[in-house]
Amino acid sequence: MIPAAGSPVSSAPAWHTLTLAATAQKLQTDPDRGLTTQQVLQRQQEYGPNELIATSGRSRWQVLLDQFSNIMLLMLIAVAAVSAALAIEEGEFPKDALAILLIVGLNGGLGYLQESRAEKALAALKKLASPSVRVERDGLWQEIPASKLVPGDRVLLEAGVQIPADGRLAEAVNLQVREAALTGEAVAVVKQADCVLPADTELGERRNMAFMGTEVLQGRGILLVTSTGMRTELGKVATLLQSVETEPTPLQRRMNQLGNVLVFGSLALVAVVVVVGLLQAGNMAPFTSLLETSLSMAVAVVPEGLPAVITVTLAIGTQRMVRRNALIRRLPAVETLGSVTTICSDKTGTLTENKMVVTEIVTASHHYHLTGTGYIPQGSFYCRGEPVDPQGAPDLLAVLRATVFCNDALLQANIQPAGVRNPRSAVSSQPPSPTWSILGDPTEAALLVAAAKANLQKASLQEQCPRVQELPFSSERKRMSVVIQEKGGFRVYVKGSPELVLERCDRIQNAEGWRWLSEEVRQDILNTNDQMAAQGTRVLGVATLELEWIPSNLEEVEQNLIWLGLVGMHDAPRPEAREAVARCQAAGIRTLMITGDHQLTAVAIARDLGIIGPDDRAVEGRALSRMSADELLETVRTVNVYARVAPEHKLRIVQALQKQNQFVAMTGDGVNDAPALRQADIGIAMGITGTDVSKEASDMVLLDDNFATIVAAIEEGRVVYSNIRRFVKYILGSNIGEVLTVAAAPILGLGAVPLTPLQILWMNLVTDGLPALALAMEPAEPGVMDKPPFSPKESIFAQGLGAYMVRIGVFFAITTIIMMLIVENYTLHWRTMVFTTLCVAQMGHAVAVRSNNKLIVETNPFSNPYLFWAVLATLLLQFALLYVPFLRNFFGTEALTRDELWICMGFSSLIMVWVEMEKLYFRWRQGSRPSQPEPAPTT
């Protein structure tokens, strides 16, 4: 009976004290069919989405205050104070001080906004990968986002699932849950469905309940949802685990260090200028003007626009990656992805398509072949080229029955109208044809499809022979076992890795019943297994045993089994993976395959994809277990394929690779992959097949489970990194130029400070900031994946960047100082000319700095239209400052004459010419020494 729609509970009862029937009644849900669609809609309205409201743990004020703890901003505040005091003393309006404070405020505010936006963006991205759950509604199992759950839903729990809501267990088979998220207790709790507990039972001891945010480590269960969202136990805890991490990225850390260097460097320079100035004068007269110079220098040295540009770059990188199906869960991954030197990838689903089709079944007496494609349960059976009717082949039927019973997947027909309806007649031109969809593990789904081709349907078989016990599949055991109830008794079915299942058999099924398994037959089976695996086929072994009772420990009866046969399935390598492996090789990145599958299957697929050559070997997990630490180090240096591995081997492999200074990206999908994912420099979880636990442990989630996506993300990481380097050298080169120009004026005996703090702020924020933002949008340079990875530990100044900045800064200063010395004698506008020259020179620099070694004429001007618009806008704004009277007054500029403007243009263009000449020089040097290729001057 389907209960009436309506609200299940007005006040939440102590669910653990109720029997299952009472719980279902209270929740007004059908214990066999779940809720109806109407009930779900009503409850969704009433209870809202099943979501926790994330909080970051820091108050908004704290976040805002943190923005001002930066040493550069603190220095600017000090500068503003001194500048205000000077202005007031001279009876002037302290506009420099106000502008500086405004910029400080803006910078802090922007940082605050960026930080909260980054938090929100990360939270939104995380939601994209938010877990989906299997629920039963209207008697149909379906997969839905966990946020859509309502009280009363029946939810399937499997190993690796993060429990999506609080609920009463309706079934629990071997169910072990880690409740650390709630109770802090890391040891798994064994759950039970059929008990009723006293009202005062502690949360951690409520065996018949499961709680949101805790993790299923083992087993299977069905949960009747009792509360969702903020009404759950986890929701009641004030600061939530779902909070988004906002750890500083390595780059932000480097930038903070850079801030320190700049601040202390400029203070030292200020001291020199003041001392030299006073010594030159021989008295204290120039003190005020030296103080003004110092203030300008202090403002000039701080790259005010840089933090915003960096945040935007990282955000753009994250967006670009998600467009390519790589979802970033931790921000540092955006910039460190480009450093990956080794990718350790699973095979099934990542390097292969994970669209399994059973192609062969080998029993004691026959070798069958199957036809058919995809998950459509239509196809035929052949033996030695002759068609076979499965109903007349009991050995075949026995294998197929075993694989259906030992199976948690679902194959569902979705009836959809096919063909075009004739609008004039109401009759469809073709009958409706079903499309088939699967729920669960593709390996198991493929087995259901094969059985359906022989007319064996899971639903009816399970109805005749219900499952009474099970040990679900796990990567450690590499097999799954169930006990079913048959007429007159019970039967165990085991399916899994052929070697492991065969080890547990002592008999083999034949037409007469069974016979003892001789060594020879055993070897024959293993040979056939190897032959199938060597073709790249994924092979499972199947066995059975009659039982008279339900075993108390299923593992104990997994012996003396009767062998039924081998099942081979085809899982094609992904075509795009082949290309991606080749790209990795060109990019100096090693690809390792680490799989639970058979060695020969792994080798066949790895060869096909180009991961190993024809003579390369693979190593098995068993061998890894026996290796000493040194042997393992030696092995990971040369071996690219690891087969039949368990999750703990993955951890050892990552650690060994890291000991060799490799920067490792590692994929994983199972619960037990979490330690290896955490250990890896970039842990990568599977968006489709991955468990919630593995996603939680990862830095990045592949939305399409595809190896090629990892390579795309690495490419984007490299682009982000090279763009960051590009605008850092662009911005800081100009800062150095400004500081030196300002410092030179008093030393060269010029009467006034060439640039006011306000003008410097303008340059750093507008004329440097806008083009720098555009440079952050620069697309990948060709060849970005033809270079070896950069070291994650390298300083931002590595690969010649520091030297470039100093060269450019000094050149900036020399050209400007020369111009300053010439024009100072002829025009009163010399200060505005210095200001304009520095600004316009940066425009030329921006265009030239786009490429490291291509000349401007060789780059496509339209490949980054943002830069064109940024340069145009900046030039117009600069002219506005010269020719709009109000702005002129405010910024203290003068209207330049045409000739003066030409002189500024001429001197400005020298920077562009210099950068282009440098490129030619480095190209020439590279060309003249082909045997020792040198990296481009800066990347």
Residues that are catalytic = 346
140 Cβ neighbours under 8 A, 6+ residues apart? 412
Q: Does 492 bind ligand ATP (CB under 6 A)?
A: no
DSSP H helical ranges for 433-504? 442-453, 458-464, 498-503
Taking the least distance from each CB to ligand ATP, the nearer of 599 and 662 is 599
Of 480 and 760, nearer to ligand ATP (C-beta) is: 480
Under rule CB under 6 A, residue 737 binds ligand ATP: no
Q: Which is nearer to ligand ATP, 146 or 566 (CB)?
A: 566
Q: Which of 245, 251, 259, 248 is closest to 338 using CA atoms?
A: 251
Decide if 594 contacts 345 (C-beta within 8 A).
yes
Minimum CB distance to ligand ATP smaller for 8 or for 496: 496
Nearer to ligand ATP, 210 or 711 (CB): 711
Give residue for tokens 């080749």.
Answer: 582
What is the Cα gyration radius of the chain?
Answer: 35
Task: Tell me how many residues contact ligand ATP (CB under 6 A).
Answer: 19
Q: How far is the CB of 269 from ligand ATP (least distance, A)?
A: 58
Amino acid at 796: I
Specify whether the CB–CB gap between 402 and 544 falls below 8 A.
Answer: yes
CA–CA separation, 771 and 766 (whole Å): 8
Between 197 and 480, whose beta carbon lies closer to ligand ATP? 480
Q: Which stretch binds ligand ATP (CB under 6 A): 151-159, 239-247, 473-481, 930-938?
A: 473-481
> Which one of the spans 81-89, 141-149, 175-183, 439-447 is the region binding ligand ATP (CB under 6 A)?
439-447
Between 225 and 502, CB nearer to ligand ATP: 502
The distance of closest approach from Cβ of residue 169 to ligand ATP in the complex, given in angstroms and rounded to an integer, is 23
Q: Which stretch binds ligand ATP (CB under 6 A): 4-12, 511-519, 592-600, 609-617?
A: 592-600
Element (H, E) at 98: helix 95-128
- CA nearest to 792, candidates 229, 208, 476, 337: 337
Residue that is written with structure tokens 């990656």 in the block: 321
* Options 218, 228, 348, 908; binder of ligand ATP; rule CB under 6 A: 348
Residue 540 interacting with ligand ATP (CB under 6 A): yes
Q: Which of 334, 480, 525, 743 contacts ligand ATP by CB under 6 A? A: 480
Residue 479 binds ligand ATP (CB under 6 A): yes
Written as one string, the DSSP assignment of 798-812 is TTTHHHHHHHHHHHH
Q: Count of CB atoms within 10 A of residue 922's CB?
A: 18
* Alpha-carbon separation of residue 28 from 135, 172, 232, 233, 929 (angstroms): 16, 21, 19, 22, 81
Strand order in the sheet with 342-345: 326-328, 700-702, 682-686, 664-668, 342-345, 590-594, 641-643, 618-620
Tokens of 835: 């200001």
Q: Which stretch binds ligand ATP (CB under 6 A): 208-216, 424-432, 474-482, 753-761?
A: 474-482
- C-alpha distances out from residue 530 to 180, 359, 370, 778, Å: 43, 16, 19, 51
Cβ neighbours for 759, distance < 8 A, ≥ 6 positions apart: 835, 891, 892, 893
Range in contact with ligand ATP (rule: CB under 6 A) among 22-30, 241-249, 475-483, 630-638: 475-483
535 is a contact residue toward ligand ATP (CB under 6 A):
no
Among 47, 211, 368, 473, the residue binding ligand ATP under the rule CB under 6 A is 473
Tell me the DSSP string of 636-654: HHH--EEES--HHHHHHHH
Contacts (CB under 6 A) with ligand ATP, residues 593-612: 595-598
Taking residues 308 to 347 in sequence order and writing x for each that binds ligand ATP by CB under 6 A, - otherwise, the string is --------------------------------------xx
* CB 540, min distance to ligand ATP, A: 5
CB of 668 to ligand ATP, least distance (A): 9
Nearer to ligand ATP, 403 or 816 (CB): 403
Determine the 3-state secondary structure of 450 from DSSP.
helix
Instruction: Rank residues 80 and 557 by Cβ distance to ligand ATP and give the closer one.
Output: 557
Q: Which stretch binds ligand ATP (CB under 6 A): 75-83, 134-142, 495-503, 870-878?
A: 495-503
Q: Which of 475, 485, 535, 926 binds ligand ATP (CB under 6 A)?
A: 475
Chain position whose Cβ is nearest to ligand ATP = 596
* Pair 925, 934: CB distance under 8 Å: yes
x/- string (CB under 6 A) for ligand ATP, residues 395-434? ----------------------------------------
Does 504 contact ligand ATP by CB under 6 A?
no
Neighbouring C-alpha atoms within 13 Å toward the C-beta of 912: 20
Measured from the CB atom, the residue of 294 and 350 that comes closer to ligand ATP is: 350
Residue choice 111, 152, 277, 496 for contact with ligand ATP (CB under 6 A): 496
Among 162, 226, 227, 497, the residue binding ligand ATP under the rule CB under 6 A is: 497
836-875 residues near ligand ATP, rule: CB under 6 A: none
Both tokens of residue 103?
A: 């910029």
The yes or no reply on residue 528 touching ligand ATP (CB under 6 A) is: no
Strand ranges for 556-710 from DSSP E: 561-570, 590-594, 618-620, 641-643, 664-668, 682-686, 700-702
Determine, following the binding rule CB under 6 A, whether residue 305 of this chain makes contact with ligand ATP: no
CB-CB neighbours of 623 under 10 Å: 18
Give the binding site for ligand ATP (CB under 6 A): 346-348, 441, 443-444, 473, 475, 478-480, 495-497, 540, 595-598
